[in-house]
Structure 1
Amino acid sequence: MKQLTTERIKSVGVLAASLVTTTNAALALAGINPLPFTDSQAGTAVSAVLAFAVTLWTWWRHNVITPQATIGHDVTVREKAAAKQITTADHSETAVAAQRNAEASTTPATEGLTDGELKVLTAAWLADLHKEDQ
């Protein structure tokens, strides 16, 4: 979906640039001074367009406009409430148990031989090596 939005923005930008250059060429052919703006006026116009675009974008971004935004807003509210409960109840039995379970799940289970079994096998292997050497 983000790719589609990016492509739309690019498409509108290319169209706007094409219209400006076509208008400029048409004015030059008609003998009229193309884009008769001073640098100051052009800078002010660009600033005004940017300010309008940023205002529109922030309004769209931070307000619940579409049905999908409503769903996202509800999810965010629930997640923030859950996070707040967890931080306020950090020392409760449930939080301590949850933390222990999380730590236990990240600790890898011990697999293989114990130290004693490893020592016995190593000693037997070394003894076999010494018998072969003799």
Structure 2
Amino acid sequence: MDTRQIAQRLVELCREGKYDQAQQELYASDAVSIEGDGQKAEAVTRGFDAIRTKSKEWADNLVEIHGGSVGEPIVAGNWFSVVMGLDATYKDMGRVAMNEICVYQVRDGKIAHEQFFYDMGGA
């Protein structure tokens, strides 16, 4: 798949809430995931297995999802971005509404890099 196809597939799966399937299908084994500006060591996750563990910990912390949104992807070469929103209640933070810009890099037909830019608490 090319970058546009991967972007469309990711959006499709995220809109269906199939985050695990998206990672299984679309992520490279050596993918890197960065939260926010990546300045803290724990903000950078390296490797497919570590990304899956991070996702599982996030899912285990969820109490309830109240709503969400997934925008259309914007593609530029091997990169694409998607605006996503989530209103959810977490065990450790209570109810939080957030919007984020998700940026992805595709290499050899797989997502090799993702980074999330967001402010907590804004709907």
Structure with the larger strand share: 2
The alignment's TM-score, normalised by the length of structure 1, stands at: 0.18
The alignment's TM-score, normalised by the length of structure 2, stands at: 0.20
Structure with the larger helix share: 1
Q: Which of structures 1 and 2 has the larger relative contact order (alpha carbons within 8 angstroms, sep 6+)?
A: 2
Please say which structure displays the higher CA radius of gyration.
Answer: 1
